[in-house]
Amino acid sequence: MTASTSLKVRLPALVLVLEVVMLVLYALFVTYDDNANAKLQNNQTNPMENSLYRDYPYFADVQVMIFVGFGCLLAFFRFYGFSGMVFNFLTATFAIQWAILVQGFFQFYYDGKIHLGVINLLNAEFACAVVLISFGAVIGKTSPVQLLVMALFEIPFFSVTEWAVLKYIRINDAGGSILIHLFACYFGLGVTFILYRPRLNAGHAKETTSYQSDILSVMGTLFLWVFWPSFNSALTLKGDDQHRAILHTFIGLSSSTLTAFALSAVFNKRGKLTMADIQNVTLAGGVTVGASVDMMISPVAAYALGIMGCTACFFGYRYLTPFLAQRLRIQDQCGIHNLHGLTGLISSTAGICAILMATEDTYGPSMYQIFSHRAPPVGDPKLLELQKLIPGLKPGLGRTAQEQALYQVAAIFSTIAASIAGGMITGLIMKLSFMASPSDEDCFDDELFFDTPCDFDSTDVFKTSENCDEHVKMSSVNSKV
């Protein structure tokens, strides 16, 4: 690992190739969505009913989460704030423009073209969120070149999995617990398994936070917290479904946050609060309500899910992350397995329960909109009856609740399998010698890839740590003995 880490040639060369490819593909394949096409507007179209006004508010909220929320959250290391925030910016930007193409090819392709509207951008941002979650597993130990390569491969792996699951297995997953959180988590773990650095298993001197970086990171958490209801509801059906999605997400986050404070205090030796818990564990409820976010699970169920997800996430950080690192050589830097994996599994299970318990008594005829695969198939007389009550109801597959539940299970396992495989393949490519991977010593240090200002001195860590209580040093990092 004494290979050069200069970005002088590598990064520009990679970007140049990517941009040329992108220009060619955009030129050949990308045109406007009907709602963005001037030619299709006429005296029948009402400008104010343009799909823009349904999608853009959610797109803008998710933008803030992706760029500001994640950016600040990932700037939590003392000497790695530039990298955390800026690599997030770079990776997200590339991931979205690449997902517009790849995901667009699977979801918005017809008449030989990808049709581009704000709805594609919104979908692409979800694909981008997948990459950024995976990034959490390897933050501090990867170069920007490696991150671009990760995005380059993860987006297609994700898009194919998403397409296959939605087209062939057909599931309910409004908040993306399965397709986003589980995929992102296990992909990231696959990558970090391959990039294993044995010498870092005992921790790294620079793997620490500062007063300012901790505050910045909490700000990131707050932005994610505030806009998470938009994230979880962006792709639900409009109307009451989206309304419930927002309520459940808010309630789940609330109970999760309260629980996180309690657990943080009770398991701290001196009965104090730990910032890493505030930064991460508080958010667990947002993931946990995901799979059933648009269903009639009742507000109290959202409250309970928040508590359960938070608890699992908290103990994951405490016991599972060290275990994974030591025994399974999976170094999960930000603990994505706790915040996205465990919570994703709970969420998926809750989703299955909600599917099994759904009845027309609770949902009325709109049950067949939410659980669209349970709607009667074409030709079934019940379909016509229902269409009188719910105009525009689409024919489904006539699945029973039990059948749908089995398909959900199948989706969970296929997604996990696909993501682990994809992550490991991607990890092998990221490990190639010309990827500017930092040496173990240079991990968690902005100096390596940035011109830093005069007041930056990462050797400071050796001076200040003398005054520093050992317990604190340890509590601020996650993946260690």
Site residues for a second copy, 399-438, by CB under 8 A, read none
Residue 312 Cβ vs a second copy, minimum distance, rounded to whole Å:
16
From candidates 105, 170, 203, 254, binder to a second copy by CB under 8 A: 254
For the record, the structure tokens of 261 come out as 């404070």
d(CA 9, CA 414): 39
Residue 328 Cβ vs a second copy, minimum distance, rounded to whole Å:
28
Q: In this complex, which beta carbon is closest to a second copy, that of residue 51 or of residue 414?
A: 51
Say whether residue 440 binds a second copy (CB under 8 A). no
- Provide the β-strand partners of residue 317: none
Taking a C-beta distance cutoff of 8 angstroms, is the pair 241, 103 a contact? no
Residue type, 384: L
Taking a C-beta distance cutoff of 8 angstroms, is the pair 210, 329 a contact? no
Q: In this complex, which beta carbon is closest to a second copy, that of residue 48 or of residue 481?
A: 48
Q: Using the rule CB under 8 A, give the single segment among 183-191, 194-202, 250-258, 372-380 that binds a second copy.
A: 250-258
Q: In this complex, which beta carbon is closest to a second copy, that of residue 266 or of residue 481?
A: 266
Taking a C-beta distance cutoff of 8 angstroms, is the pair 419, 157 a contact? yes
Residue 440 Cβ vs a second copy, minimum distance, rounded to whole Å:
20
Residue 190 Cβ vs a second copy, minimum distance, rounded to whole Å:
26
From candidates 110, 266, 379, 481, binder to a second copy by CB under 8 A: 266
Binding residues for a second copy restricted to 28-47, rule: CB under 8 A: 30-33, 35-43, 45-47
Burial of 326 (0-12, 13-18, 19+ CB in 10 A): middle
Q: Which H/E stretch holds residue 114?
A: strand 113-116
Count of alpha carbons within 13 angstroms of residue 47, beta-carbon side: 1
Q: Using the rule CB under 8 A, give the single segment among 161-169, 303-311, 342-350, 402-410 that binds a second copy.
A: 303-311
Say whether residue 93 binds a second copy (CB under 8 A). yes
From candidates 112, 198, 271, 379, binder to a second copy by CB under 8 A: 271
Q: Which one, of 51, 36, 26, lies nearest residue 105 by Cα?
A: 26
Handedness of CA 361, 366, 372, 377 (dihedral sign): positive
Residue 154 Cβ vs a second copy, minimum distance, rounded to whole Å:
17
d(CA 121, CA 118): 5
Q: Cβ contacts of residue 247 below 8 Å, gap of 6+?
A: 299, 302
Say whether residue 307 binds a second copy (CB under 8 A). yes
# residues near a second copy by CB under 8 A = 151
Of how many residues is the chain composed?
Answer: 481
Q: In this complex, which beta carbon is closest to a second copy, that of residue 5 or of residue 201?
A: 5
Say whether residue 176 binds a second copy (CB under 8 A). no
Q: Which H/E stretch holds residue 30?
A: strand 30-32
Q: In what order do the strands lie in the sheet with 113-116?
A: 30-32, 113-116, 109-110
From candidates 263, 283, 383, 418, binder to a second copy by CB under 8 A: 263
- Provide the β-strand partners of residue 113: 110
Residue 410 Cβ vs a second copy, minimum distance, rounded to whole Å:
26
From candidates 208, 331, 348, 437, binder to a second copy by CB under 8 A: 208
Q: Which one, of 414, 454, 440, lies nearest residue 160 by Cα?
A: 414
Residue 249 Cβ vs a second copy, minimum distance, rounded to whole Å:
11
Say whether residue 327 binds a second copy (CB under 8 A). no
d(CA 204, CA 455): 22
Q: Using the rule CB under 8 A, give the single segment among 155-163, 172-180, 344-352, 444-452 that binds a second copy.
A: 444-452
* Buried/exposed 219-238: b ≥16 CB within 10 Å, e otherwise: bbbbbbbebbbbbbbbbbee
Say whether residue 112 binds a second copy (CB under 8 A). no
From candidates 1, 3, 9, 328, binder to a second copy by CB under 8 A: 9
> Tokens 């006539």 appear where?
398
Q: What does DSSP assign to residue 292?
A: G
Binding residues for a second copy restricted to 347-406, rule: CB under 8 A: 362-367, 370, 388-391
From candidates 74, 80, 81, 200, binder to a second copy by CB under 8 A: 81
From candidates 123, 172, 209, 426, binder to a second copy by CB under 8 A: 209
Residue 80 Cβ vs a second copy, minimum distance, rounded to whole Å:
11
Say whether residue 201 binds a second copy (CB under 8 A). no
d(CA 381, CA 279): 53
Residue 367 Cβ vs a second copy, minimum distance, rounded to whole Å:
7
Q: Using the rule CB under 8 A, give the single segment among 61-69, 130-138, 191-199, 416-424 that binds a second copy.
A: 61-69
Q: In this complex, which beta carbon is closest to a second copy, that of residue 160 or of residue 226?
A: 226
Q: Using the rule CB under 8 A, give the single segment among 174-182, 185-193, 258-266, 337-345 that binds a second copy.
A: 258-266
Q: Cβ contacts of residue 422 below 8 Å, gap of 6+?
A: 153, 154, 157, 158, 161, 187, 190
